Amino acid sequence: MSVIIEDILAGQRAAFRAEGFASAETRRDRLTRLSRAVLVSEAELVDALQADFTNRSPFATRAGDILGSVAAIEYHLDNLESWMTAERVPLSPEVEAHGTFAEVQYQPLGVLGAIIPWNGPVLMGCLAAMGGLAAGNRVMLKMSELAPATGEAFARAISRYFDRSELAVINGDATVAAAFSSQPFDHLLFTGSTATGRKVMRAAAENLVPVTLELGGKSPVIIGESADLGAIANRLVAGKLASAGQVCVSPDYVLAPAGKVEALVGECRRAAEEIFPQMMRNSDYTCLIDGRANARMKALLEEARQKGARLDFVPADVTFDDLPAEGRFPFVLVTGVSDDMAVMQEEIFGPVLPIVGYETVDLALERVASGEHPLSAYYFGEDEAEAARVAAAIQTGSVVINDVRCQLVYEALPFGGVGKSGMGRYRGRAGFVTFSNRKTVLHQKAPEAALARGRPPYSSQAHETICQAIALKKAQYELE
């Protein structure tokens, strides 16, 4: 398979060189074909995701993966020409007085490689592809082996509208993924776990390939004293249980005023029962991806229970002993947790939500700061000063005030993490910039006589002028 990957990469490089920098018209055509590929294959893609997850909300797939992809592509189409326009860079007045000017031109890098996660393979595949194509690149996508039916369906959809020298979809196991990440791309985008991200970055470093890593982490929710618990619960639970918590920016744990923890648990239970009635049979409630994910959720809960945590299940008739080995997993609210529990150390990536009491917001912020930087953070409350303080204090890729997860909806917002939650930004213009070569072009317009004064041999007057300039700077900085 590595030979095939190398052949596709070589073919894309050759096609890129032969074409030169793709025009706006060519890029628009490719983006439009990407929309058509997704729309024409809508039914097949919905069925494939259903097969990979056993049940994945068809409504969520159509709204997020199909219409979400098309909406993001249309955002690129609406802004493409303005993004491609060279940007003037102001120089000093005395330089520009001669007519000299500088600009930054956005030119394609060549071939973008992207490793796509299993939890949203259609949308994430399209986001990577549209960013690379809008920037004028050729693109190669490695789909996840954990969603094989979707990977094959997506490959068929793309092949209907693209030659593999433009956009290629590759499927295969972890060995194929390792071979893919070791290729000498011009840029590599990876979305997935922090542990795998380390391996990808290590492989890319062998070829000095720049990487954008979209990872994860424990995204906290801080609830202020001024928050309305009923409204919070509706938004928090809807965001947490979207795709059964299998989303990188899913709320991972909640920090609430100590006196409101019990009330919040009750409101979250009420919200979950209203949003997903008959949850364990509800077609809008997505299954965990496989039995290993179910086993991991159960192991997290078992350890927390043994160390003294309380588990509240939704539906209420579910008990720990009859947790399902595969398929849908109940919503579990965990209280009485301690920092040594795995549920407070690992990214959960499932429908389990620890709620921790705090005495002051400052202590809550200290708790967040003591861990790794999260991909996202959330605050609920009507105290605008407190909201601003929370937003400023947490080192994270994104902050949402009075909602969760909705930052993913807006293609205009740069997306990415910081520290172990990732590096680099993409989506919308941020992706166009990341997947472009920002080339500086300086147009020298000064006359030869003016330039000659800066070349040797230097006159005594030139030496005196330089010494006077240094003396003035020393005085400005109050130096002797």
What pLDDT score does 152 carry?
A: 98
Cβ neighbours of residue 360 closer than 8 Å, sequence gap 6 or more: none
Nearest to 421 by CA among 437, 404, 398: 398
User: How far is it, in rounded angstroms, from Cα 312 to Cα 245?
Assistant: 17
CATH among 3.40.309.10, 3.40.50.720, 3.30.420.40, 3.40.30.10 for 220-415: 3.40.309.10
What pLDDT score does 65 carry?
A: 97
Q: What is the mean pLDDT of each run of 10 residues along the chain (480 residues)?
A: 88 96 98 98 97 96 97 98 97 94 97 97 98 98 97 98 98 95 97 94 96 96 96 97 97 97 97 97 96 97 97 96 95 97 97 97 96 97 96 97 96 96 96 98 93 90 93 91
Domain borders along the chain are: 2-215+426-438, 220-415
What pLDDT score does 3 carry?
A: 76
CA distances from 349 to 286, 294, 377, 433 (A): 13, 11, 15, 30
For residue 148, the one-letter residue type is P
pTM, to two decimals: 0.94
Tokens at 138, concatenated? 């050729």
With H, G, I as helix, E, B as strand and everything else as coil, classify residue 52: helix
What pLDDT score does 453 carry?
A: 86
Is the domain spanning 2-215+426-438 CATH 3.40.605.10? The answer is yes
- For the chain, how big is the Rg over CA atoms in Å? 26
DSSP for 103-161 reads: EEEEEE-SEEEEEPPSSSHHHHHHHHHHHHHHTT-EEEEE--TTSHHHHHHHHHHHHTT
- The answer to whether 2-215+426-438 and 220-415 have equal CATH topology is no
User: How far is it, in rounded angstroms, from Cα 473 to Cα 475?
Assistant: 5
Q: Enumerate the active-site residues.
A: 214, 248
